[in-house]
Chains A and B, each alone.
Chain A
Amino acid sequence: MGKRLMKGNEAVVHGALMGGATHFFGYPITPASEIAHGAAHYFPASGRCFLQAESEVSAVNMLYGASGAGARVMTASSGPGFALMSEGLSYLAGAELPAVLVDVQRAGPGLGNIWPEQSDYNMVIKGGGHGNYRNIVLAPYSAQEMCDFTRKAFALADVYRMTVCILTDAYVGQMMEAVELSGEMETGDRKPWAVYGNRESKENLITSIFMDPVLLEKHNRKLQEKYREVEQHCVEYHEYRTEDAEYICIAYGITARICMSAVDELRERGIPAGLLRPKTLYPFPKERLAQLAEGKVTFIAAEMSNGMMADDVELAVSGKAPVRRYGWLGGVIPTVSEIVERIQAEADKGGGR
C-alpha cells in the first residue's frame, strides 16, 4: 500500500480500525481532537460506532459498557480529560475489561496550556484511579508508531483483559509524517466472559465488587500475577547508538526524537552518546537499564516533566550509574542544541564519576 501524509492523531484512527476497533466514545479536547474528528468520519463510514459523550466520565463508562458487551473499544483525550477518566480506569481494571485509551499530553496542572508536556506519566503509568491496578502503556514517537501501536493495543488489551494506554504528546499528535498501512485488519474473538444479551452469556457478570475481603484479595493477587506476566512478556524499547555509549539518554515521545538528533550531533563531536527509548512505559525496560548501568555510563533522563520518568530510571539503575535529570515544564520544548551543550558539559567534567 502507498504512503499517506497524516498527523499522528489521524494515524491513531487508522491504526485503531486496522486493529479491529468497533467503538469510539470520546469528548473533544485540544490537542487530541483530530482523533475524534477522524473517528467521527471513519467509524460510521465503515459500519462502526462513534459517539460523542457528554463528558470524559461518561465516555469511559461507555467503554465499560461496550467492552463488557464484547466490543473492541477506544477513546482519546488529553490530561484534563484523562484525569476525569481515572475513576473509570479503575473500574475497567477491576472488571478486567479490555479498552484502549489515548492520552495526547498537554501541559498542566489545571487547564495549563495546549503545548506538549509529559507530566501525565504518573497518572497514566502509576494509575490515577484507586486500587492496585496497572495499565499497559505504549509510547509512540512518530505518526507511523501512532498507527502501529494503536493497532497493536487492541490485541494486547484482549489478551490480558487490560486497559492499554497510548501515552503520547501534543507534538507527536499534531505532527504530520508518512504513514503506511499494511497487513490484514484484525478482529477480536468471541469473549467467553462478555455479556452478549443472549442465553449463552447470561451467567456472565461484569463487576469490580467483591464484598468478601478474602475474595477481593484473591482477585487482587490474580491481577498482580497478570501484571507480572505483562512485565515478563511485553517490554519493548528502541536503542539508538548505545553500543559504546557513555552518555545514554532515556526519553520517550517527542523528547526521544529531540534526543536522537542530539545524539547524532554529540557523536559528530566525538562524544559517545546514545538513546534508549522505552516503547513501553509500563512495563518499563528496567532490566535493560540495569544491564547498561553495569558499564561506564551516565544516564540522562530527559522528559517534559518534573522527573516522573526519572524516578523509574533511578529505580532501575539502582545507584549503579549516575542519573542526570533534564526536565522541561509548562509546554517549553527542549532544543537539540540545549541537550547537546548540557551533555558536552558533562563530558567536559569527565562523566561525573
Chain B
Amino acid sequence: MIKHAKSKALYDTFERKGAGQQVSHYCPGCGHGTVHNLIAEALVDYDITDRTVLMSPVGCSVFAYYYFDVGNFQCAHGRAPAVATGVRRTLEDAVILAYQGDGDLAGIGTAEIVHAANRGENITVFFVNNAIYGMTGGQMAPTTLIGQKTMTTPEGRDALHDGGPIGMAEMLNALHSPVYIERVSLSTPQGVLKARKAVRKGLKYQMEKRGFSFIEILSPCPINWKMESGASRKWLKDNLEPVFPVKNFRDHSKEEPLKGQKSELMTGQQLLQLLQGDAAITEFAESSLQEEQYVKIAGFGGQGVLSAGMFLAKGAIAEGLEATWLPSYGPEMRGGKAYASVILSRRIIGSPVVDSPNVLIAMNLPSLLAFEADVVPGGHIFVNSSIIERKVTRKGVQTVYVPASDIAKDAGLLAAANMVMICAYLACTGALSIDTIRSMIPQSVKQEKHVQANLKIIDASLSYLQQQGLISSETELL
C-alpha cells in the first residue's frame, strides 16, 4: 500500500479514533482516502484550514472528523446539507464542506440536498458515489446499477422492482441556483487528477462566495463489490462510468454572483422600538365597566368581525381593563364564516372562551341563527338590520336593531359597518367610553381619510341611536 505524506489539514495521529492511531478506518482500495487527501491538500494550498468547517455524514465516512484538522460537525443521516445551511447562515466567512455518500445523499437525504442546492447555499458538497451501502454491509444504494448484486438485491437490482440508478448530478443540474456541478471518477490516475481540479474549483467558488458547488466522485468499494482493488477500478470504469457519465454539467463561475443586502444587527434599544412600533396602546381613561363582558361578534369573512373584536380589546386595555380576544381560525375562516370571542373584565380573565355571551353582535343571518340561543338571560343582542331581516325570537334579552351597513355606506365607508355595531354596543351598555373609541381611531386606522370617515360614522351611529330613543340625548356628540 502506498503511503502518502499527510497534508497539514489532516491530523498527525487520529486521536479521536484511538490514542496514537495513524491508520484510517477505511478498507484497502477504498476511494475515501483519496478524496480526503485531495480535499486536505487543497485546504492547505488555499490556506483555509483554520476557517473550514466539515460536515461528516452517516455512512463509511461517518468518522471523517477523525482525520480533518478543521472545525467538525457530525450530522444525522442525510441531513448534512441542512446542518451546513444552519452553519452557513451563522458563520459568514467559514468554508463549509459537506461530505456525503450515496445512501446519505441520494437516499435518505434527497430533500436536504435538493433544497440546499436550490437555495444556492454557498457550500461545497462532495458526493462519493460507489453504488452501494458500505457501512451497513453492502446493501442496495439508490445509485446501484441494474443487475448489480447487493445484500438486499441478491439476484441483482431489478428495474421493475427497484427502479434504476439515480443520477444526482443530472438531477441537481435541473435546478436554477447551483453554480458548479461536475462528476469525476477515481478509476484512473488521470481521473484522480481531474477530481483534484474539480475539488479545487468547488472550494475556490465558495471562497469567492459564488454559491453552491456539487462534485460527484465515482469511487471504488472493493470490499462490498467483492473484488480486488485493481479489478474494482476497472469495474468502475467499465460499468459505473457508462451509467454515470463523467463530465462537467455546469460552471457558472463567469456570471456575477447574486449579492444580497443584510440589515445591520440591531441593538436592544432599536429592537424594542421595532417591536413596539407605533402600536403601543396609550391609556386614555378610567373604566366605568360594571359587569364583565362576554362578547361574541359574528359574521361573514370580510365584515371586519375579527378587527371589531380587536378594537374592543384594545379599547379595554386603553381603559386599564383586562381583555382577551379569541378568533375562529383556519379553514373555517377561509370558508367565509368568522367570529371573535372577546372578554372585557376588571380582573384577570380565566377562560377566554365565550360559550354563553352576554353580548352578541350579529353581522349576518347565519350568525344570529348560530348564537342567538347561547346568549344569557338579560344579555344584549345587536343585529345588523341592513342585512338581517329576521327578528330575534328568543325572550329575556335586550335586542337592538341597527342598520349598520346603511349608516356606514351613507357616511362613505361601507367597510366600517363593524364600527357602527361597536358604537351601538358601547353606547347602549356603557361598557367602554365612546371617547376612548374616538381617541383610538387615529392609531388604528392607517389612512387619514378613513380616520375622518370613521369619526363621522361614530357620530352618525350615535345620532341614529338617539333618534330611536335607544340612548339619551345627553350622550355627547362631537
Chain A residues in contact with chain B, CB under 8 A? 1-5, 14, 17-18, 22-23, 25, 30-31, 42, 44-49, 51, 53-55, 57-59, 61-71, 73, 87-88, 91, 95, 114, 170-171, 174-178, 181, 184-185, 195-199, 201-202, 204-209, 254, 257-264, 333, 335-337
Q: Evaluate contact between B350 and A258: CB separation under 8 angstroms.
A: yes
User: In the complex where A23-B89, A197-B52 touch, is A1 in contact with B280 (Cβ < 8 A)?
Assistant: yes
Query: Shortest CB–CB separation between residue B207 and chain A, in angstroms?
Result: 13
Chain A proximity mask over B16-60: 1 for CB below 8 Å, otherwise 0: 100000000000000000000000000000000111110000000
Q: Which residue of A lies closest to B282 (CB)?
A: A2
User: In the complex where A44-B263, A177-B325, A209-B74 touch, is A65 in contact with B87 (Cβ < 8 A)?
Assistant: yes
Q: Report Cα–Cα, A88/B95, bound state, in Å.
A: 24
CB-defined contacts of B326 to chain A, threshold 8 Å: 171, 174-176
Chain A CB within 10 Å, residue with most, of B69, B82, B262: B82
Secondary structure at the A interface, as helix, strand, loop or mixed, is: mixed
Q: Evaluate contact between B112 and A195: CB separation under 8 angstroms.
A: no
CB-defined contacts of A87 to chain B, threshold 8 Å: 76
CB-defined contacts of A185 to chain B, threshold 8 Å: 267-268, 271-272
Chain B residues in contact with chain A, CB under 8 A? 16, 49-53, 62, 65, 69-76, 79, 82-91, 93-96, 111-112, 114-115, 262-268, 270-272, 274-277, 279-282, 310, 313-314, 317, 322-327, 329-331, 348-353, 355
Q: Can you spell out 27 A-B residue pairs with CB atoms less than 8 angstroms apart?
A: A2-B281, A5-B279, A23-B90, A30-B329, A30-B330, A44-B262, A46-B266, A47-B263, A47-B265, A53-B82, A54-B115, A57-B82, A58-B111, A59-B82, A64-B79, A66-B89, A91-B76, A114-B331, A185-B271, A197-B87, A197-B91, A205-B65, A205-B72, A209-B62, A260-B351, A261-B350, A261-B351
Q: Evaluate contact between B324 and A177: CB separation under 8 angstroms.
A: yes
Q: Evaluate contact between B50 and A58: CB separation under 8 angstroms.
A: no
Q: Which 6 A-B pairs have the closest CB atoms?
A: A65-B86, A197-B94, A2-B280, A261-B350, A185-B268, A61-B82
Q: Evaluate contact between B314 and A23: CB separation under 8 angstroms.
A: no
Q: Evaluate contact between B90 and A46: CB separation under 8 angstroms.
A: no
CB-defined contacts of A51 to chain B, threshold 8 Å: 85, 89
Which of A5, A59, A91, A171 touches B313 (beta carbons < 8 Å)?
Answer: A5
CB-defined contacts of B314 to chain A, threshold 8 Å: 5
Query: Shortest CB–CB separation between residue B430 and chain A, in angstroms?
Result: 22
Which of B96, B324, B329, B348 touches A114 (beta carbons < 8 Å)?
Answer: B329
Q: Report Cα–Cα, A68/B90, bound state, in Å.
A: 10
Q: Evaluate contact between A196 and B91: CB separation under 8 angstroms.
A: yes
In the complex, given contacts A176-B324, A337-B355, what are 4 additional A-B residue pairs having Cβ atoms less than 8 angstroms apart? A46-B274, A65-B90, A181-B275, A197-B87
CB-defined contacts of A95 to chain B, threshold 8 Å: 74
Q: Report Cα–Cα, A91/B86, bound state, in Å.
A: 15
Q: Evaluate contact between B262 and A47: CB separation under 8 angstroms.
A: yes
Q: Report Cα–Cα, A207/B55, bound state, in Å.
A: 10
Which of A17, A64, A88 touches B271 (beta carbons < 8 Å)?
Answer: A17
CB-defined contacts of A14 to chain B, threshold 8 Å: 275
Q: Which residue of A lies closest to B315 (CB)?
A: A5
Q: Evaluate contact between B325 and A208: CB separation under 8 angstroms.
A: no
Q: Which residue of B lies closest to A70 (CB)?
A: B90
Q: Evaluate contact between B86 and A5: CB separation under 8 angstroms.
A: no
CB-defined contacts of B327 to chain A, threshold 8 Å: 174, 176
Q: Evaluate contact between A177 and B323: CB separation under 8 angstroms.
A: yes
Query: Shortest CB–CB separation between residue B335 and chain A, in angstroms?
Result: 13
Query: Shortest CB–CB separation between residue B76 and chain A, in angstroms?
Result: 5
Q: Evaluate contact between B268 and A71: CB separation under 8 angstroms.
A: no
User: In the complex where A4-B276, A175-B352 touch, is A49 in contact with B89 (Cβ < 8 A)?
Assistant: yes
Q: Report Cα–Cα, A345/B271, bound state, in Å.
A: 52
Query: Shortest CB–CB separation between residue A177 and chain B, in angstroms?
Result: 5
Q: Which residue of A lies closest to B330 (CB)?
A: A114
CB-defined contacts of B85 to chain A, threshold 8 Å: 51, 58, 62, 65
Q: Evaluate contact between B324 and A175: CB separation under 8 angstroms.
A: yes
CB-defined contacts of B83 to chain A, threshold 8 Å: 61-62, 64-65, 68
Q: Evaluate contact between B90 and A71: CB separation under 8 angstroms.
A: yes
Q: Evaluate contact between B90 and A61: CB separation under 8 angstroms.
A: no
Q: Evaluate contact between B271 and A195: CB separation under 8 angstroms.
A: no
Q: Report Cα–Cα, A17/B280, bound state, in Å.
A: 17
Q: Report Cα–Cα, A258/B329, bound state, in Å.
A: 20
Q: Report Cα–Cα, A204/B54, bound state, in Å.
A: 11
Q: Evaluate contact between B72 and A61: CB separation under 8 angstroms.
A: no
User: In the complex where A71-B90, A197-B52 touch, is A58 in contact with B72 (Cβ < 8 A)?
Assistant: no
CB-defined contacts of B280 to chain A, threshold 8 Å: 1-4
Chain A CB within 10 Å, residue with most, of B16, B85, B88, B282: B85
CB-defined contacts of A30 to chain B, threshold 8 Å: 329-330
Q: Evaluate contact between A257 and B71: CB separation under 8 angstroms.
A: no
Q: Evaluate contact between B79 and A61: CB separation under 8 angstroms.
A: yes
CB-defined contacts of A263 to chain B, threshold 8 Å: 350
Q: Which residue of A lies closest to B53 (CB)?
A: A197
Query: Shortest CB–CB separation between residue A68 and chain B, in angstroms?
Result: 6
Which of A23, A54, A181, A206 touches B272 (beta carbons < 8 Å)?
Answer: A181
Which of A22, A61, A197, A259 touches B75 (beta carbons < 8 Å)?
Answer: A61
Q: Evaluate contact between A176 and B69: CB separation under 8 angstroms.
A: no
Q: Evaluate contact between B325 and A176: CB separation under 8 angstroms.
A: yes
User: In the complex where A64-B75, A171-B326, A209-B74 touch, is A5 in contact with B265 (Cβ < 8 A)?
Assistant: no
Q: Report Cα–Cα, A314/B268, bound state, in Å.
A: 44
CB-defined contacts of A197 to chain B, threshold 8 Å: 51-53, 71, 87, 91, 93-96
Query: Shortest CB–CB separation between residue A48 and chain B, in angstroms?
Result: 7
Q: Which residue of B lies closest to A71 (CB)?
A: B90
Q: Which residue of A lies closest to B55 (CB)?
A: A65
Which of B76, B275, B281 touches A5 (beta carbons < 8 Å)?
Answer: B281
CB-defined contacts of B76 to chain A, threshold 8 Å: 61, 64, 87-88, 91
CB-defined contacts of A195 to chain B, threshold 8 Å: 53, 71-73, 87
Q: Evaluate contact between A5 and B90: CB separation under 8 angstroms.
A: no
Q: Evaluate contact between A46 and B265: CB separation under 8 angstroms.
A: yes
Q: Report Cα–Cα, A171/B79, bound state, in Å.
A: 33
Q: Report Cα–Cα, A290/B95, bound state, in Å.
A: 54
Query: Shortest CB–CB separation between residue B61 and chain A, in angstroms?
Result: 13
Q: Report Cα–Cα, A31/B84, bound state, in Å.
A: 29
CB-defined contacts of B331 to chain A, threshold 8 Å: 114
Q: Report Cα–Cα, A197/B72, bound state, in Å.
A: 9
Chain A CB within 10 Å, residue with most, of B86, B313, B348: B86
Which of B115, B271, B323, B325 touches A58 (beta carbons < 8 Å)?
Answer: B115
Which of A18, A69, A209 touches B91 (beta carbons < 8 Å)?
Answer: A69
User: In the complex where A68-B73, A261-B351 touch, is A45 in contact with B87 (Cβ < 8 A)?
Assistant: no
Q: Evaluate contact between A64 and B279: CB separation under 8 angstroms.
A: no
CB-defined contacts of B72 to chain A, threshold 8 Å: 195, 204-207
Query: Shortest CB–CB separation between residue A335 and chain B, in angstroms?
Result: 5
Q: Report Cα–Cα, A261/B324, bound state, in Å.
A: 14
Q: Evaluate contact between A23 and B86: CB separation under 8 angstroms.
A: yes
Q: Report Cα–Cα, A17/B84, bound state, in Å.
A: 23
Q: Report Cα–Cα, A195/B82, bound state, in Å.
A: 16
User: In the complex where A23-B90, A195-B72, A207-B65 touch, is A178 in contact with B317 (Cβ < 8 A)?
Assistant: yes
User: In the complex where A46-B265, A178-B323, A205-B72 touch, is A335 in contact with B86 (Cβ < 8 A)?
Assistant: no
Query: Shortest CB–CB separation between residue A34 and chain B, in angstroms?
Result: 10
Q: Evaluate contact between A257 and B351: CB separation under 8 angstroms.
A: yes
User: In the complex where A171-B352, A174-B329 touch, is A202 in contact with B70 (Cβ < 8 A)?
Assistant: yes
Q: Evaluate contact between B86 and A69: CB separation under 8 angstroms.
A: yes
Q: Report Cα–Cα, A67/B91, bound state, in Å.
A: 11
User: In the complex where A1-B280, A53-B82, A202-B70 touch, is A62 in contact with B89 (Cβ < 8 A)?
Assistant: yes
